[in-house]
Amino acid sequence: MDRFFARFLQRLRTDFQLSIISLMGLFGVLGISPYAVYRLLEGNYLVGISDLVIVLSTVAAVIFAWVTGNTTKAGLYVCCVFTCLATLIAINLGVNGLFWIYPLILFNFFMVSPGKASIATLLVLAGLIGHSLWQPGTVFESYYQMGSFLVTSLMACILTLIFAYRTQLQREQLQVLAIQDGLTGARNRRAMDTDLKIAASRKRRHGKPQALLVMDLDHFKQINDRFGHPAGDQVLIDFVRLIKRSSRQEDLLYRFGGEEFLLLLQDTELSGLQSAAAQLHQQVRSGLLGPGGPVTVSMGGAVLQSCEPWTSWLQRADRCLYQAKSTGRDRIIIDTQESQPQAHVDPQSTPLVASTDT
């Protein structure tokens, strides 16, 4: 029970959209249910049933979001239902129903993207104004009241739109910062762990070959010691730029230590890894120039075995890198064990090493 509750809280904490939908669901049920009952008792069945549909739709959307994790669809659904029914209620109730349009405007900006929420608001306003022009006196008591409502609701919409755009932009920036290395722009250690786990699961589920290359700049400390930290930083930046330029667009580059990098090559077999490594190694040799001359790199690579945990895959590549370093640097060593379906992999086994002295 405790674990269930802890997971429940964890999901609420980490999934912003889910927590908003749940909160709105709670407000919807507590805030609108009494009105549904009141309207039904009063005999206003159109409004009563509309309120009831709103409450039931909210509950359904919250359950859908929790079960499937698809908060986008759930949000879009409640946005459509609320927008249509709130307009219908406002047309039926007149001024008393208009009060609900303001929270609806805010609500939609929480549920869907700022663009969609603006469209929903404009549709509500068009519906209400159109209806009151068609049948004067039904929604608004006077043109003055209609004008005031139009201006204030548009102001609420524009201000919320600005706020929503700012928040969305900041959230996107934070998401990038959370997975990016500040100096080089490569992905960071946290992203690497997540992506390697996903790569291992892609291999297990779909049999897609996965390869990785661990790279470590040679004698990097000397650059720092002789030319200073900023010069070392520049070499790291240049290295990342060069690797990104020379690898495929779908390959993902991570910085996971001071001068240690990892390239994840998805859908890549051993032969692909070998040729990519040889090409990148050559590019670094000819294209990476530090303040004291050319900078070289040592590389270790491995292809993911069937059913192998990602940690052991990384360890095998790391062992190859260690061998490349200890046998003289500026070289590539790739574990040539081919992936064998259902083969049991002993993480302690010594890799079959193919040294590609370039």
Ligand X SMILES: Nc1nc2c(ncn2[C@@H]2O[C@H](COP(=O)(O)OP(=O)(O)OP(=O)(O)O)[C@@H](O)[C@H]2O)c(=O)[nH]1
Binder of ligand X out of 123, 183, 289, 343 (CB under 6 A):
183
Q: Which of residues 70-109 bind ligand X (CB under 6 A)?
A: none
- Segment contacting ligand X (CB under 6 A): 106-114, 148-156, 211-219, 264-272? 211-219
Q: How far, in Å, CA of 268 to CA of 342, rounded?
A: 19
Neighbour-count burial for 253-278, b at 16+ CB within 10 Å, e otherwise: bbbbeebbbbbbbbebebeebbebbe
Question: Cβ–Cβ contacts within 10 Å for residue 152, how many?
Answer: 12
147 versus 257: smaller Cβ distance to ligand X? 257
Query: Does 217 contact ligand X by CB under 6 A?
Result: yes
Residue 180 CB, nearest approach to ligand X (Å): 14
Residue 187 CB, nearest approach to ligand X (Å): 15
Query: Does 233 contact ligand X by CB under 6 A?
Result: yes
Residue 228 CB, nearest approach to ligand X (Å): 8
Polymer length of the chain: 358
List the alpha helices (DSSP H) in 43-134: 45-68, 71-93, 95-98, 101-111, 114-134
**Known catalytic membership, residue 259:** yes
Q: How far, in Å, CA of 26 to CA of 32, rounded?
A: 10
218 versus 251: smaller Cβ distance to ligand X? 218
Residue 220 CB, nearest approach to ligand X (Å): 3
Residue 160 CB, nearest approach to ligand X (Å): 42
Site string for ligand X, 311-340 (x = CB under 6 A): --------------x---x-----------
| Residue linked to tokens 């240049």 | 238
Residue 219 CB, nearest approach to ligand X (Å): 5
Tokens of 269: 């077999």
Question: Which phi and psi (to 5°) does residue 290 adopt?
Answer: -90, 180
Tokens of 306: 């069937």
- Segment contacting ligand X (CB under 6 A): 87-95, 101-109, 228-236, 348-356? 228-236
Binder of ligand X out of 35, 149, 220, 310 (CB under 6 A):
220
Helix 16-42 vs helix 2-14: crossing angle, to nearest 10:
100
Q: How far, in Å, CA of 277 to CA of 269, rounded?
A: 12
Query: Does 221 contact ligand X by CB under 6 A?
Result: yes
Q: Which of residues 254-293 bind ligand X (CB under 6 A)?
A: 258-259
Query: Does 296 contact ligand X by CB under 6 A?
Result: no
195 versus 216: smaller Cβ distance to ligand X? 216
Query: Does 181 contact ligand X by CB under 6 A?
Result: no
Query: Does 239 contact ligand X by CB under 6 A?
Result: no
- Segment contacting ligand X (CB under 6 A): 15-23, 90-98, 194-202, 227-235? 227-235
- Segment contacting ligand X (CB under 6 A): 79-87, 96-104, 212-220, 275-283? 212-220
Residue 221 CB, nearest approach to ligand X (Å): 3
Amino acid identity of residue 131, one-letter, is H
Residue among 42, 141, 259, 308 flagged as catalytic: 259
**Size, binding site for ligand X by CB under 6 A:** 16
Q: How far, in Å, CA of 170 to CA of 150, rounded?
A: 30
Distances, alpha carbon 232 to alpha carbons 37, 222, 236, 260, in Å: 71, 9, 6, 13
Binder of ligand X out of 7, 73, 166, 229 (CB under 6 A):
229
Query: Does 300 contact ligand X by CB under 6 A?
Result: no
- Three-class HEC string of 160-220: HHHHHHHHHHHHHHHHHHHHECCCCCCECHHHHHHHHHHHHHHHHHHCCCEEEEEEEECCH
Amino acid identity of residue 270, one-letter, is L
Q: Which of 303, 251, 258, 257 is nearest to 279 (CA)?
A: 251
Query: Does 224 contact ligand X by CB under 6 A?
Result: yes
Query: Does 219 contact ligand X by CB under 6 A?
Result: yes
Cα of first residue to Cα of last residue in the chain, in angstroms, is 59
Positions that interact with ligand X (CB under 6 A): 183, 216-221, 224, 229, 232-233, 236, 258-259, 325, 329
Residues with a known catalytic role:
259
